[in-house]
Amino acid sequence: MFSIPWKHAARHGWQVDKDACLFKQWAIHTGKYKEGETQPDPKTWKANFRCAMNSLPDIEEVKDKS
């Protein structure tokens, strides 16, 4: 089991380099983002990552109820 930090961008203190680094790296890995060539779009990176995780049959979301 693993945990992915999923902080909402509207929250106080949200920083793209800290709170969206996994999503950015996924966008770079998939070729959807090229640093210096395309505009940063953390909202789309996060949505694309979520869709990729949801499409994998061996990944199951376990919601934290604490």
Domains of the chain: residue spans and CATH: 16-55 (1.10.10.10)
End-to-end CA distance of the chain: 17
What pLDDT is recorded for position 30? 96
Angstrom distance (rounded) from CA 47 to CA 13: 20
Angstrom distance (rounded) from CA 41 to CA 26: 12
Backbone φ, ψ for residue 44 (5° rounding): -70, -40
**pLDDT tens-digit map of 1-48:** 888 878 888 888 888 888 999 999 999 999 999 999 999 999 999 999
CA-wise closest residue to 48 among 26, 16, 18: 26
